[in-house]
Amino acid sequence: MPELPEVEVTRRSLLGHLPGSRILAVRMGKPLRWPLGMAPEGLVGRQVQDVRRRGKYLLLDLDQGVLVVHLGMSGRLRMDDRADMPPWGPHDHFELDTTQGVLRLNDPRRFGAVVYAESAQAPVVQKLLGHLGMEPLADGCTPESLGNALGQRRAAIKQVLLSGDVVVGVGNIYASEALFRARIHPEQHADRLTRPQVRRLWEAIRDVLQHAIEAGGSTLRDFASPEGRNGHFQLEAMVYGREGEPCRVCGTPIRMVRQGQRSTYFCALCQRRR
């Protein structure tokens, strides 16, 4: 579910509740993708100081140590008063009871994870975050820096975007959508993009993500922020999930191809191969 916008919306929401809270109890369900890396009881008494994001990872900074949280494909975080929290269910796998409310991770597929590390510099964290590419919305992401990084990659642009080691946060939906906006064929080799193409892609990625964040993360999928549901799609996808339907720009039927076990959607006319 969560691409960068959903994770960022989650982060902003948690920022309003979590910092300053003290952990009163920890509850865990079935194993997630990776073990927590410490005894859960050891977290009791620690204080959450900040909530940061790197790519699709959330970092809960504690007064001692850090919790690295990833939502995987199906993870959702919810924060609420104990009284308003639904009963613990079979897909609830992590919960922090704090002085400022309850934070709970629900994740049916369990591709998500919560990992503890002594610090953000710890080897575990480096292993997870060390290889990540630039933040698309940060100042350091410019048409030049993006072009330089893409110039090192010969694989299809769609797969390079998805890999996360050039730019982070662009998942399967937004990759297709950004390439459509930039009018770039998803199978074009990354190192063959022209300067104008790179510039259009840079802009498209930032626009698409920025809009999605502003819309509360519910642009292209149903999404519930930690405070609760905020509803339905607010924008329609231009190409994602629309195989066979007419392109919203030119009417050509949208095509679907498989790239590295993932679906890619595009308009063969608007995104002509060069």
String of DSSP letters for 233-266: -SS--SSTT-TTSBPTTT-PBPEEEEETTEEEEE
Q: Please say which residue, 6 or 97, places its beta carbon nearer to DNA.
A: 6
Task: Judge whether 214 counts as a catalytic residue.
Answer: no
Cβ at position 138, least distance to DNA in Å: 17
- Asked if 160 is part of the footprint of DNA (rule: CB under 7 A), the reply reads yes
SS (H, E, C) 26-67: EEECCCCCCCCCCCHHHHCCCEEEEEEEECCEEEEEECCCEE
Q: Are strands 101-106 and 23-28 parallel, antiparallel or unpaired?
A: unpaired
Q: Please say which residue, 70 or 104, places its beta carbon nearer to DNA.
A: 70
Q: Please say which residue, 17 or 221, places its beta carbon nearer to DNA.
A: 221
CA distance 153 to 58: 28
> Which DSSP category does 86 fall into?
P
CA 141 and chain centroid, separation: 17
Task: Judge whether 52 counts as a catalytic residue.
Answer: no
- Asked if 152 is part of the footprint of DNA (rule: CB under 7 A), the reply reads yes
- Asked if 47 is part of the footprint of DNA (rule: CB under 7 A), the reply reads no
Q: Please say which residue, 47 or 263, places its beta carbon nearer to DNA.
A: 263
Task: Judge whether 56 counts as a catalytic residue.
Answer: yes
- Asked if 147 is part of the footprint of DNA (rule: CB under 7 A), the reply reads no
Query: Encoding tokens for residue 127?
Result: 């292993």
Binding site for DNA (CB under 7 A): 1-3, 6, 30, 33, 55-57, 70, 72-73, 90-91, 108-111, 127-128, 131, 152-156, 159-160, 162, 164, 171-173, 190, 221-223, 260-263
